[in-house]
Amino acid sequence: MNPQDKMSLSDSLMLVIRRDWLLAMRRRADVLTTLVFFVMVVSLFPLSMEPDPNVLRKIAPGVVWVAALLASMLSLGRLFSADHADGTLEQMMLAPQPLALLVFGKIVAHWMLSGLPLVLLAPVLGLQFGVPTEGLWVLVAGLLLGTPMLSAIGAIGAALTLGLRGGGVLVSLLVLPLCIPVLIFGAGAVDAVLAAKSAAPNLALLGAALVVSLAAAPWVAAQALRISME
C-alpha cells in the first residue's frame, strides 16, 4: 500500500463528521423533529400564562435556554446508539486513530445537526417574546458558545448509558445537572444586557468553559465508551 493512502488525523476527523452528516441527510426527519420540539416548547410558555409583554421579555432567555437544553437531550440518544447497534462503534474503537478524536468528530457533527439549527432559530423565537435587538445578539452569541458544550457533556452521558434500558430518560438525568452552569451563564448574559449591563463576563465564562469542556469531554466520553463496550 502506498504511504499516501494512509489517512492523517484531520482526514479521519473530517471523515467522521462527513459520515454523520451524510447519514443525517438521508434521514432529515430526525433533525427536523428536534427543531420542531424546540419551537414547540418555547411556544408553550406564553400559552401557559397571561401573555404580558414585560413578563415575556423577562423570561425569554431562560425559556429559550431551557428549551435548547431539552432539545439537545432529545437528540443525544441517537449520538452513539445506532453505531452501537450495527457494530460501527466496535470498528471505530479499532481505528488506528485515538478514539477521543473520533468522538470529537461525532460531537462536532451532533452540534452541527442539533445545536446549530437551534442557534439560527433562536432570534426568531426571541422576537416572539419581544426581546430587543441587542438582547437577540447576545442570545445568539451565548447559544453559539453554549450549545457545543451541551453536545460535548451530553456525549459523556450518551456513552455511559449506551445500550441500557430506558437510556433516554437516564441520559437526561445524568447530563442535565452537569449543564446547569451553561444555563446560568447563557441566560445570565441576556439578562445582563436587558438590565443595561455588560454581557461580557457571562460570555467570557461561557467561552472558557467551552474550551475546557471541548478539551476534556471527548477524552472522558472515549473512556466511557470503552467501559460500556466491555
Residues forming contacts to other proteins in the complex (CB under 8 A) are 1, 4-7, 11-12, 15-16, 19, 22-23, 26-27, 85-88, 90-98, 102, 156, 160-161, 164-166, 170, 173-174, 176-178, 180-181, 184-185, 188, 191, 209, 220, 223-224, 226-230
3-state secondary structure 141-164: HHHHHHHHHHHHHHHHHHHHCCCC
Q: Which three cell numbers stand for residue 14?
A: 473530517
Which CB atom, from 49 or from 93, has the smaller least distance to other proteins?
93
Which CB atom, from 67 or from 183, has the smaller least distance to other proteins?
183
Which CB atom, from 39 or from 95, has the smaller least distance to other proteins?
95
Smallest separation, CB 43 to other proteins (Å): 26
Q: What single letter denotes the amino acid at residue 88?
A: T
Dihedrals φ, ψ of 52, to 5°? -80, 120
Rounded to whole angstroms, the Cα distance separating 93 from 158 reads 16
Which CB atom, from 19 or from 57, has the smaller least distance to other proteins?
19
Which CB atom, from 77 or from 181, has the smaller least distance to other proteins?
181
Rounded to whole angstroms, the Cα distance separating 46 from 52 reads 9
Smallest separation, CB 53 to other proteins (Å): 21
Smallest separation, CB 111 to other proteins (Å): 19
Which CB atom, from 69 or from 123, has the smaller least distance to other proteins?
69
Rounded to whole angstroms, the Cα distance separating 202 from 64 reads 17
Residue where the block lists cell 425559556:
63
Smallest separation, CB 207 to other proteins (Å): 14
Smallest separation, CB 157 to other proteins (Å): 8
Q: What is the DSSP string of 24-57?
A: HHHTHHHHHHHHHHHHHHHHHHHHTS---HHHHH
Rounded to whole angstroms, the Cα distance separating 19 from 14 reads 8
Instruction: Provide the angle, in degrees to the nearest 10, between the axes of the packed helices 116-128 and 28-47.
Output: 30
Smallest separation, CB 11 to other proteins (Å): 7
